[in-house]
Amino acid sequence: MLFTLATDEDVDEIEKIYEYAVKTIGELGIDQWQNGYPCKESIIEDLGKQRLYVCRDPSGVIGVCAVIKDGEPAYNNIYGGNWLTNGKYITIHRFAVAGRSRRCGAGTFMIKRIESMAAEEGFPSIRIDTHDGNVPMRSMLNASEFTHCGTINLASGDERAAYEKLVKLPRLSKRTKNVLGTLSFLAVFFVVAAILSVNLGSACPSYLIFHICCPFCGMTRAHLAALRLDFSDAFFYHPVFFLGVPYLLLLIFDEAFPKKLKKIRKWTIIVITLIILIVYFIRICRFGVDFFN
């Protein structure tokens, strides 16, 4: 089985899964999901927000759920108990399994994958709610080691049993590992560049091979000069050297940026690239293609 983001091609199968879930929940004699929800509109909305996940096996989509990472307003108040944590959490909504895959472990598999996702992204817990009379769902949550924390009220005013599961976080989060990995890469890069510069007269592969300075030529020497607090030489070696490290960090730390900042990151990279290219062509026009020869 695989747990992946849903695609537009999955919509028809997801609709059938929800239709089956609505039917089976109705047979329990409860009013959960008996008012036209979830519907195709909610599927499209979840798809658009890239929070709709599906469980697949060779036969197709066998499970679906929405994984929400920015909180749930209905969880701000809980009655008859308390949440296990007070910080950020992942919310699971619209959780359903296909009829042909009941009792095959698809639901438990999805929970485990969401737990892995939470651990990788630094979320200390997972929360979910269900109808008090939804015995199959509550049994699965209990089997998956969720804790019944109390009761919450949906926006409609309906009451739901609230559950939370603690997530065992790694000592170093994925984001921290990325930061340490990038810093290590930069350290090795600058050491190697410095050695090449001293022994070969240039650290620029473009110049060593083609005798043409690249847009980043002088960047390493500029940073080394800046570390010596010799900013006059730093700006001489590369007039926009101070954009070098932020540029690398923006390129490498794609996963570290929240979705709402992805567009800002993209345009910042474009602007910095244009600035570096403009400076490059000005230097070529003024000093020639081998301006550090």
* DSSP codes, 167-200: ----SS-HHHHHHHHHHHHHHHHHHHHHHHHHHH
**pLDDT at residue 81 in the model:** 94
- List own/partner pairs for 100-108 with CB under 8 A and 24 or more apart: 100/59, 100/62, 101/57, 101/62, 101/63, 104/62, 106/1, 106/55, 106/57, 106/62, 106/63, 107/63, 107/140, 108/140, 108/143, 108/144
Which conformational region is residue 81 in: left (phi greater than 0), alpha (psi within -120 to 50 degrees), or beta?
Answer: left
Instruction: Say which DSSP state 102 is in.
Output: T
**pLDDT at residue 240 in the model:** 92
Give the three-class secondary structure for 156.
coil
Percent of the chain whose predicted confidence (pLDDT) is above 70:
86
**Per-residue pLDDT reduced to its tens digit, 217-275:** 788 788 889 999 999 989 988 899 999 888 878 877 766 666 677 788 889 989 999 99
**pLDDT at residue 177 in the model:** 67
Residues in the chain: 293
So what's the architecture of 2-166 in CATH?
3-Layer(aba) Sandwich (3.40)
**pLDDT at residue 245 in the model:** 84
**pLDDT at residue 67 in the model:** 96
Spans of the chain below 50 pLDDT: none
**Angle of CA points 11, 14, 20, to nearest 5°:** 145
**Per-residue pLDDT reduced to its tens digit, 203-222:** 566 666 667 777 887 887 88
Which conformational region is residue 31 in: left (phi greater than 0), alpha (psi within -120 to 50 degrees), or beta?
Answer: alpha
Report d(CA 3, CA 124) in Å as an integer: 20
**pLDDT at residue 84 in the model:** 95
Residues linked to residue 159 through DSSP beta bridges, in sequence order: 153
Token look-up 């651990």 returns 119
Q: Using CA atoms in the order 269, 270, 273, 275, what is the torsion angle rounded to 10 degrees?
A: -110
Q: Which of 34, 50, 37, 43 is nearest to 12 (CA)?
A: 43
Helices (H), 122-173: 135-143
Report d(CA 60, CA 41) in Å as an integer: 22
**pLDDT at residue 199 in the model:** 63
**pLDDT at residue 53 in the model:** 96
**pLDDT at residue 139 in the model:** 93
Give the three-class secondary structure for 36.
coil
Provide the residue ranges of all domains of the chain, joining segments of one domain with +.
2-166, 174-287
